[in-house]
Amino acid sequence: MEVTQHIIRSTQTEDDAILQAIKAPCDLLLVFASPAFFSSSSLLTDIIASGVPVAGCGTSGEITAGDVREQSAVFTRIDLKGKGFAHIAVSQVHEEDYFNCGKALGESLRGDDLKAVIIFTRGIDFVPGEMFDGLHHVLGTDLLICGGMAGDNASYVQTFTLSPQGISDHDVVAAGLYGDNLAVSQAVIGGWQSFGPIRQVTRSENNILYELDGTPALDIYKKYLGRSASRLPVSGLLFPLEMMDSYDEPSGLLRVLYDVNESDGSLILGGKIEQGAYLRLMHASTNDLISGVEDAAQSFSLSVENQFKPAFALVVSCLARKIVMGDQVEEEVEAITSALGQNLPVCGFYSNGEFGPLTAPGPCKLHNQTMIVTLFGTTD
């Protein structure tokens, strides 16, 4: 596998040599770009017209090796050197039928030696759980699915995906990677600590949490935030909610707070919350999050050291982590780069939701406040 990268810092670039290199034949071109490249530039449409198999999305920050970028476009060319291939499928969610959207993607992607699927969706009003169910219904639960929800620099107005069919604010784009010598491994990284009592969800609808233990969720949330409650919803990024499998068994999934509704006392979260489930508050300092990445990255690197030769890493991290870390956000990417090797190509983005299993192999889940690192490589 051969992987090369090109970074363009202006929507008005006229560097023909770079443009021709981006459009050169390859098995898959991953693109992560600032929303400006989707809304006010002909660059992406020109690349699509060239016939390159392209998949990607808009971001809230672009990730490369040891670096977090803004207002740029990162192009990662993947050439499987005749030992595999990629196939891109595109679908849409019609009338909230997420399951059949996933099923349609699975039918299009199904094939021998399918090793992984990378998925990009819109980042607003999208609840992907049933879409994953549809994919796994066709492809099985052991297949690794990764990717994330597109970002738009925290404006939550319009997000974009990219495929050979064009730029879209509603298409779901999935890239399948095939080959008997391809290998993939994944790490899901958090760094948050729990505090306060465990409470039961007594009223919820989709991603809106109305009541905990029969009390308005916002009242309880404010109680435990103390003085930080005056800065809601922004301060809520520091206090995500952990979903529990049972009263005393954490699931490993977090839900970030995006907004509050003072009139009905509800919390608007980054993913679906089941009524009857249990939740508890989480917190962490920037140093806690960075230390968590450093420890997990070192462990992850050692775990794959003798399994296969990594060719590139896909890193999808939550926008909320970026906001919490502020000027220190590059440190979590630097920790990944240091652990995996300075010369390993890294691509990715800050997202409105991250995709991956809790533990691999296993079914894909929607994560919040999480960094997910997926290594792709070969066994020979």
Which pLDDT tens digit goes with each residue over 104-121? Answer: 999 999 999 999 999 999
Whether 171 contacts 90, CB under 8 Å: yes
Predicted confidence (pLDDT) at residue 13 exceeds the cutoff of 80: no
Mean pLDDT of 196-221: 95
Per-residue pLDDT, averaged over 210-235, amounts to: 93
- Is the entire prediction scored with pTM above 0.85? yes
pLDDT of residue 15: 73
What DSSP line would sit under 247-265, residue for residue?
A: TTEEEEEEE-EEEEETTTT
User: d(Cα 148, Cα 339) in Å, to the nearest integer?
Assistant: 23
Per DSSP, what are the bridge partners of residue 87? 176
- Tokens read off for 235: 């301060």
- Return the closest-CA partner of residue 307 out of 181, 196, 135, 128: 181
In this predicted structure, what is the pLDDT of residue 303? Answer: 85
pLDDT, mean over the chain: 93
Local confidence band at 341 (pLDDT 50, 70, 90 cut-offs) = confident
- Sheet strand arrangement including 2-8: 2-8, 73-79, 28-33, 54-58, 161-163, 166-168
Q: Please indicate whether residue 89 or residue 227 has the higher confidence score (pLDDT).
A: 89
Is the per-residue pLDDT at 234 higher than 90? no
Residue 180: pLDDT band (50, 70, 90) is: very high
**Beta-carbon contacts of residue 345 (< 8 Å; ≥ 6 apart):** 3, 4, 5, 65, 76, 311, 312, 313
Q: Is the pLDDT confidence value at 74 over 90?
A: yes
